[in-house]
Amino acid sequence: MSLPIKIYLLTFAAGLVTTAVTLPWWRAWCMRVNLVDDPGHRKIHQTPIPLAGGLAVMTGLLVPLLGSLLVLQLHWLDSRAVELLSHGLNRRALELVAILFGGLGMGWLGWMDDKHELSPALKFVGQFVIATLTVAAGVRITLFVPSVAFSYAVTVLWILTVTNAFNFMDNMNGLCAGLGAISAAAFAALAARQDQYLVALIALLVCGALFGFLPYNYPRATAFLGDTGSHFTGYLLAVLAILPHFYSRKHPHPLAVLSPLLVLGVPLLDLAWVVILRWRIGQPFYVGDNNHLSHRLVRRGFSKPVAVGLIWLLAALLAGLTLVIN
């Protein structure tokens, strides 16, 4: 029996509404404590913009999660839905707790960077520790290779890569959040089709929370995600790419294991492009520049909102292709 569609819709709505409602409060708080992005080099805004988006998106995930636990405890859903969700929670309890704390840890690391501008080395060490603890809790990629060491190494590398890819993509209004929402929606659809209810619900919650933030960030920004939000978003999408079983007897297509690469293709290719380019010109890969895909589209004459929209469209097409091959 499949989970009722209304539960999926309510989950998406809960993330969206919670983020949208709490963001003005977070924005005011950020202005009060001076957690803002000041105008400066390579920045187009003329006034300080509060870094409230990441905090609001995290709230949009955490509050509905706590609410859902209460709903399950009080059996406010039909008995079959409670049974399905409780089974999933019990089976993946350790993984889910690790993911939750990993997401909060990445968000906190990004918040520290927003507030104190951490050195690249210190930020990388923090990312590495969080990724390693997540893997130790059982969130791992195998790729059909029977080696624990390989599984640890490739999963840590994956989490670090995707987290930093989304951090790099936070370079234009709406870009990172929009790509995150599209990717989360794709992972939700893939998981729901395979009756992986819990994964689908988490992905829809992430999708809803990011959609709730977008009106405050695109086309004109009254709040930014900040490193808090880009780290949190990138980490969760890296994990959402690991949790579903893309290749199975029910879905035996040999290209199915490439699904995460297609869903996250735009940020991953952009990351690879700028890192290689910076290496070729002798610039440290962690030093920002204006050579991202978004910047190149603007230099070709597109406005910034249109450039972002075109990149969203490309990501949506790749996500659609993923649904076709699964």
Q: Strand, coil or helix: what is 37?
A: strand
Contact 210, 232 (CB under 8 A): no
Q: So what's the pLDDT on residue 247?
A: 47
Q: Which domain holds residue 107?
A: 5-325
Q: So what's the pLDDT on residue 44?
A: 56
Task: Identify residue 84 by its one-letter amino acid code.
Answer: L
Whole-Å CA distances, 265 to 130, 145, 297: 23, 23, 17
How many domains in the chain? 1
Q: So what's the pLDDT on residue 243?
A: 82
Q: Where do runs of H (alpha helix) occur along the chain?
A: 5-33, 53-73, 79-91, 93-116, 120-136, 148-169, 175-193, 197-213, 226-240, 259-263, 265-280, 293-299, 304-325
Q: How far apart are CA 139 and CA 316, in angstroms?
A: 26
Contact 235, 58 (CB under 8 A): no
- Given a cut of 50, the residues of the chain with pLDDT beneath it are 1, 247-248, 252
**Angle (nearest 5°) at CA 224 between 261 and 24:** 125
Q: So what's the pLDDT on residue 63?
A: 94
Contact 268, 161 (CB under 8 A): yes
Contact 128, 158 (CB under 8 A): no
DSSP 121-173: HHHHHHHHHHHHHHHHTT----TT---HHHHHHHHHHHHHHHHHHHHHH-SST
Q: So what's the pLDDT on residue 256?
A: 63
